[in-house]
Amino acid sequence: MMTSDLSSSPSSSGTEFADPNPSTDPETNSERVQSQLESMNLSEPSEVSDGSHTDYSGGDDDDENAGAVEVALSNGNEGGVSNGCVAGTSVEEEIEGGEASSRAEYPVEMEAGEEPPSPTSSGYDGERGSSGGATSTYKADDASEDEIREANVDGDTASQHEAAWLPGKRHVDEDDASISWRKRKKHFFILSNSGKPIYSRYGDEHKLAGFSATLQAIISFVENGGDRVNLVKAGKHQVVFLVKGPIYLVCISCTDETYEYLRGQLDLLYGQMILILTKSIDRCFEKNAKFDMTPLLGGTEAVFSSLVHSFSWNPATFLHAYTCLPLPFGSRQATGTVLQDVCASGVLFALVMCRHKVVSLAGAQKASLHPDDLLLLSNFVMSSESFRTSESFSPICLPRYNPQAFLHAYVHFFDDDTYVMLLTTRSDAFYHLKDCRIRIEAVLLKSNVLSSIQRSIAEGGMRVEDLPIDRLLRQKPNQGQAGHESPRDVSVGTGGPFGLWHFMYRSIYLDQYISSEFSPPVTSHRQQKSLYRAYQKLYASMHENGLGPHKTQYRRDENYTLLCWVTPDFELYAAFDPLADKAMAIKICNQVCQRVKDVENEVFLQGASPFSW
């Protein structure tokens, strides 16, 4: 959950958010940041259709080449850091580079992309040395998101979308001198406070040492002034910073996502690292500031790249809730009962999962599992191929439960999709956990849970088309819209009733959400991603200043009509056809909530919530 000190609203002034040392002299401070930025030339993304670019338009694939981020270390900014002249200054944290006025005031050097504009195709194929990159679609080693998308522009469903991710890091041959690298739409970096690279989404960490040093220079320059840099805006680029003790995390993005969500993504990235190593890494830096952390993350590229990929398809990353696989109540209950038994025998957490969805879970008394931990845990297991081959036992840390220490996890896959995770504090509990797994497996087989799971995967989740439309039809005459085309016509080919395209329902009490399957017209990977981005904006705006009771928001643009409804019990996000009727949309939303309540025993994990804080 975003806390208030993390959030900034684009409309508020730069000094208003989370500034422990309010700026006394913004003029000079801004100049200083500006001089820092001059060393880091953020170029406008070179899109052909720049003029027609809208908030929710497609082309947002962040793996794609878009703009150039250029770094020149020679610009004297190092001197600025080392000569200590920044003492006592406090720097304005947000530069609204996107606004004409501030752009004039704090000019950030803009530079046209060196490459001819290439909004969708991978114009760097030649450079990467892969012959015929545009046609080699599923080449195991270097196929990238953009290539897959090209092959699959239409008709890939959410699950394919999920499956389209290929393990491992791509474009390792790049560094900050590569044009292709500079044009990537979204970069993630983790570095140490001495400027040593720890992780980079693209390119080789060691080759990016110079770039890392620049990022570190910017952060510590501001820190030396007793302040913190959170966000730098430069044209379409946002540079988001997160400082976690000796670890710095940076995202450079021109994907049009909200600052809050980008910051949340950095938080999750940090959490993933803690899950692998625990916070005891801080001690390594205390002992030796030059400590090189990269070897400790050996073999984990796939874990991070899969997490980054999930930022664009998994709503759990911004809803901070988990989702269950829809199942008959009895199946989930049988699973829950045996998991509770297992927890009574000394297991801290016991979970049966299907891919990223929960089948059932239980925790020892008073132990609660945070939805973010659940997300990071399932991402870790799903992206590490080695768990699939045999029973595994591994140290694992749950950052929200206890970031300081390892737990031990027993992981076993029953089939390609379904797996059990048993977490314990005891490092010698393997054989006990193995016995527990055998017990759980026996129950799953006896109650046919594994086949229910397969059936559920095949059937998919809730569909907007399946909403009980008849009840709505009966209400239609009250609308007094005689002569209008019949409601059934409106619903044809446009998803659910009355132009409902998609919805997400989040139960606040349960910490769970349910979202409808994607259906026409939101079918392509790109459209889905763009809808999620629209939801994220909505989510951020609803969570800006704490929640009041019964808040609603209604937005319409050329792509969607979006409706959001927040109550103390639940949040509903719904997307309609841009031409949908407002009164009708509100009715449909009520209908959706009713429908979710009707099936809550199948779509939510009920009962003793282990998530009560």
Partner 1 sequence: MPSRRRTLLKVIILGDSGVGKTSLMNQYVNKKFSNQYKATIGADFLTKEVQFEDRLFTLQIWDTAGQERFQSLGVAFYRGADCCVLVYDVNSMKSFDNLNNWREEFLIQASPSDPENFPFVLIGNKVDVDGGNSRVVSEKKAKAWCASKGNIPYFETSAKEGTNVEEAFQCIAKNALKSGEEEELYLPDTIDVGTSNQQRSTGCEC
- The residue ranges that bind partner 1 (CB under 8 A) are 276-277, 295-300, 384-387, 389-395, 406, 409, 427-428, 430-431, 434
Greatest CA span in the chain, whole angstroms?
Answer: 78
Q: Strand 500-507's sheet: what is its strand order?
A: 512-515, 500-507, 570-576, 561-566, 551-556
- Minimum distance of partner 1 from residue 411's CB (angstroms): 8
**Peptide bond between residue 521 and the one before it cis (omega within 30 degrees of 0):** yes
Alpha carbon 26 to its chain's center? 33
- Minimum distance of partner 1 from residue 51's CB (angstroms): 45
Closest to partner 1 by CB, 27 vs 428, is 428
Closest to partner 1 by CB, 110 vs 277, is 277
CA–CA dist 327, 348 (Å, integer): 25
Closest to partner 1 by CB, 70 vs 391, is 391
Tokens of 40: 């880091």
Helices (H), 200-311: 209-224, 259-277, 281-287, 301-310
Closest to partner 1 by CB, 427 vs 594, is 427
Q: Contact 144/171 with Cβ under 8 angstroms?
A: yes
Tokens of 192: 């140490």
Residue 301 zone, left/alpha/beta (φ > 0; ψ -120 to 50; rest): alpha
Q: Contact 377/395 with Cβ under 8 angstroms?
A: no
User: Which residue in 558, 538, 532 sits closest to 314, CA to CA?
Assistant: 532
Q: Contact 282/386 with Cβ under 8 angstroms?
A: no
State the SS3 of 528-567. HHHHHHHHHHHHHHHCCCCCCCCEEEEEECCCCEEEEEEC
Closest to partner 1 by CB, 393 vs 513, is 393
The alpha carbon dihedral of 496, 500, 503, 509 has a sign of negative
- Minimum distance of partner 1 from residue 424's CB (angstroms): 11
- Minimum distance of partner 1 from residue 274's CB (angstroms): 13
- Minimum distance of partner 1 from residue 299's CB (angstroms): 3
- Minimum distance of partner 1 from residue 297's CB (angstroms): 7
Tokens of 64: 């794609």
For tokens 């989702």, the residue is 323
The alpha carbon dihedral of 149, 152, 155, 156 has a sign of negative
Closest to partner 1 by CB, 385 vs 459, is 385
Tokens of 565: 């409804």
Closest to partner 1 by CB, 120 vs 402, is 402
Q: At 76, which amino acid appears?
A: G
The burial class, CB within 10 Å (0-12 / 13-18 / 19+), for 45 is buried
CA–CA dist 395, 276 (Å, integer): 8
Closest to partner 1 by CB, 413 vs 570, is 413
User: Which residue in 179, 170, 42 sits closest to 103, CA to CA?
Assistant: 42
- Minimum distance of partner 1 from residue 430's CB (angstroms): 6
Closest to partner 1 by CB, 199 vs 560, is 199
Closest to partner 1 by CB, 53 vs 206, is 206
- Minimum distance of partner 1 from residue 460's CB (angstroms): 30
Q: Is 100 helix (H, G, I), strand (E, B) or coil?
A: helix
Q: Contact 496/519 with Cβ under 8 angstroms?
A: yes
Closest to partner 1 by CB, 388 vs 463, is 388
Closest to partner 1 by CB, 405 vs 599, is 405
For tokens 């737990």, the residue is 407
Tokens of 79: 């001197």
Helices (H), 173-208: 179-182
Closest to partner 1 by CB, 66 vs 429, is 429
For tokens 């409106």, the residue is 490
Could you tell me whether strands 349-354 and 357-363 are parallel, antiparallel, or unpaired per DSSP bridges? Answer: antiparallel
Closest to partner 1 by CB, 105 vs 204, is 204
The DSSP element (H or E) to which 336 belongs, if any, is helix 329-344
